[in-house]
Chains A and B, each alone.
Chain A
């Protein structure tokens, strides 16, 4: 960079100071700097992640009710208990049903919103904000609004009021698993909360697609619309789609708040974390069985992640495609 003088002639930028001599002592040491920057993170990781996992492993071999410092060793009993527990195994089915619905639905909804918002010629920022705002709402607050206002079972619940216009009787959306209306409540609340966030990811990816590709396709006779979307847009979004699906799956595994608040104390509709909460941290306070369940779940998540990486190719470099 240069500066302008009175004469309008640029004068040369002053030469940079000569590079500082390498510092002596620990402050100049790359090893020191490495530990300086990664140390706090590693300490946090050890204290808040690895230590609890190890403690959980320890607890899983003990009779640990109402205590986290147990003394009665019971071997693999807690694992047997959890693997033969209908409720725990049922929670894995609940998760599967949930993931099968929520992952593709959110993917499609967020991609659809992104395409729609991206094509807008005016008020694009406004609509982007409108769809993104639910991301800022807490799951607990949204669940309560869904439960007490929109899907309340009384006649003045929003959905029942709407349906009554068509002569449909009040529905108790969350009271009974037969028919399982509770899935409608759970899926819509999560869709509302999540779609905006993934929409932003897709918008960013859409804006990265070179316009020339569409122009070249048009010259080659590709029709705008579905054909262009299928043959150009979608393949170009492959990396983002894979990341979105992975994030959605991880989020589905972590599902807790809406299930816990919408289906309070039911025996159905419990994903693994809710089931483990009731088992370990809820009123049962069985930390041994809860820890065993948590470790079983950890192994399962690792397996699913590895399989997903194998099938979807997440994390593979361009050259391996």
Chain B
């Protein structure tokens, strides 16, 4: 018989036990896995949000940098899953909002007072940044974020497969479709553009010689060539030459590395993994031209650090952000080049980075410089979603691209009116 059964469990004992458990629970919560870097700093407690990068070691690296900062305890929330945006936006409405976070420059965040002006931090080193990065973070002369990494996206391909199929690197979208057909076998699909194909929207617009918005912040994407581009993508989608429903999305190199496809749209971040898997049998080329007036294009994505303007520790957060993303060049280089390949936005770091000076990485930098297009800060989440819906409805669902773009125009115009009046 257990000792317990002899115990006298009256109401007071139960109540005491319950209170004890509650207190213990509270204490356990205090000591739980909050992501805090232990033993790192002192004074203020700061929180930073990062999405989960695919490259091994990135989470440890970010936490290592945070731990090295001595003037505050910096907690890192490493957010897994594909909904970083919605988690970030929702948390920014609450008291639990992060003090700083990574995201892309978007005007709505500035308009709603969510991100702080960082001009004073960046101004002293402004000239050492890629000027397109500075421009994409600037509104009315104020700079609202610090670029951490530049991530060019282009096609990666297997030269051996191209050679075997007698295919040249495509210069136009028609040639890409023809190449995909020739490269397709019973084991390998010609091309992989991601499961949603959403990453095709921006390069399609730029390669068709258009822009998302013009200088007056009015719609500039709805052109006949863009409409034709969507039609051609539909042709590719239904051709049977496109890899569909792969286990991982475009940002992961597995489809190319596992021999499921001969060419894949991906980012330079995955280049080391591809080189490790495929050796020299790897090449890159920009998104081909769409239409006669088209031009080759590369999407220069990336991530930037922003400071929560409504944070309780605004000054301390700005100090931390300045320390890590302005002063600590060693960490910035480590972050850009030790895990995947990203181009450091600081010119001095990019120019001295040996890993980017030769071979395929150097070619990636060249494409970035020659054909790169950056995000427009006025192209916000609502507009992004509107054009992603156009792609879904016209390419994957088979609707009329012109009609779908007209529907998107109404949504985008509503957004532009809210942003610019």
Contact = CB atoms under 8 A, between A and B. Distances in A.
Interface stretch (A10-18, A29-37, A65-73, A198-206): A65-73
A23 B100 CA distance: 58
B161 interface: no
Nearest to A66: B112
Interface string B384-399: 1100110011001110
A284 B382 contact: yes
B392 A66 contact: no
Nearest to A260: B83
B381 interface: yes
Given A265-B388, A281-B86, A175 B418 contact: no
Contact of A174 (B112, B245, B385): B245
Interface string B156-169: 00000000000000
A177 B396 contact: yes
B93 interface: yes
A10 to B, nearest CB: 26
Contacts of B392: 265-268
Given A153-B246, A154-B246, A154-B247, A175 B396 contact: yes
B241 to A, nearest CB: 12
A85 to B, nearest CB: 11
A301 B382 CA distance: 29
B412 to A, nearest CB: 13
Residue among B85, B237, B246 with the highest chain A CB neighbour number at 10 A? B246
Interface in A117-167: 148-149, 151-155, 157
B277 interface: no
A178 B381 CA distance: 28
B384 A283 contact: yes
A281 B398 CA distance: 28
A233 interface: no
A153 B418 contact: no
Contact of B82 (A149, A152, A264, A266): A264
A284 B411 CA distance: 12
Contact of B196 (A66, A154, A264, A268): A264
Given A177-B397, A264-B196, A68 B93 contact: yes
B195 interface: yes
> What class of interface size applies to chain B in its complex with A?
35 or more
Contacts, number: 84
Given A154-B260, A281-B90, A284-B381, A176 B247 contact: no
B86 A153 contact: no
A284 B187 contact: no
Contacts of A283: 85-86, 89, 381-382, 384-385
A162 B335 CA distance: 44
A61 B145 CA distance: 34
Interface in B71-113: 82-83, 85-86, 89-90, 92-93, 108-109, 112
A282 interface: yes
B244 A267 contact: no
Contacts of A282: 83, 85-86
Interface in A214-238: none
- Label chain A's interface by main secondary structure: loop
Interface string A220-258: 000000000000000000000000000000000000000
A153 B397 contact: no
B112 A265 contact: no
B243 interface: yes
A285 interface: yes
A153 B385 contact: no
B198 interface: yes
A88 interface: no
B114 interface: yes
B223 to A, nearest CB: 22
A178 B399 CA distance: 11
Nearest to A284: B382
Contact of A67 (B85, B112, B247): B112
Given A65-B418, A153-B245, A284-B382, A178 B82 contact: no
Given A264-B196, A265-B388, A283-B85, A176 B396 contact: yes
Interface in B402-418: 418
B403 to A, nearest CB: 12
B420 to A, nearest CB: 15
Contacts of B92: 66
Contact of B245 (A68, A152, A267, A284): A152
B396 A266 contact: yes
Interface string B230-264: 00000001000001111100000000000010000
Nearest to A155: B187
B247 A178 contact: no
A5 B223 CA distance: 102
Contacts of A265: 196, 198, 388, 392
Contacts of B198: 265
Nearest to A87: B389
B396 A66 contact: no
B321 to A, nearest CB: 22
Given A178-B398, A283-B385, A284-B385, A67 B93 contact: yes
Contacts of A178: 397-398
Interface string A166-206: 00000011111110000000000000000000000000000
A149 B248 CA distance: 11
A285 B108 CA distance: 11
Contacts of B93: 66-68
Interface string B287-303: 00000000000000000
B388 A153 contact: no
A66 B90 CA distance: 8
Contact of A152 (B237, B246, B398): B246
B112 A175 contact: no
B244 A172 contact: yes
A278 B392 CA distance: 15
Given A65-B418, A175-B195, 16 more contacts: A66-B108, A152-B245, A153-B243, A154-B246, A154-B260, A175-B245, A176-B244, A176-B397, A178-B397, A266-B196, A267-B393, A267-B397, A268-B392, A281-B86, A283-B85, A283-B89
29 contacts: A66-B92, A66-B93, A151-B245, A153-B244, A153-B245, A153-B246, A154-B246, A155-B260, A173-B245, A175-B244, A175-B245, A176-B396, A178-B398, A264-B195, A264-B196, A265-B196, A265-B198, A266-B196, A267-B392, A268-B392, A278-B385, A281-B90, A282-B85, A282-B86, A283-B384, A284-B381, A284-B385, A285-B89, A285-B381
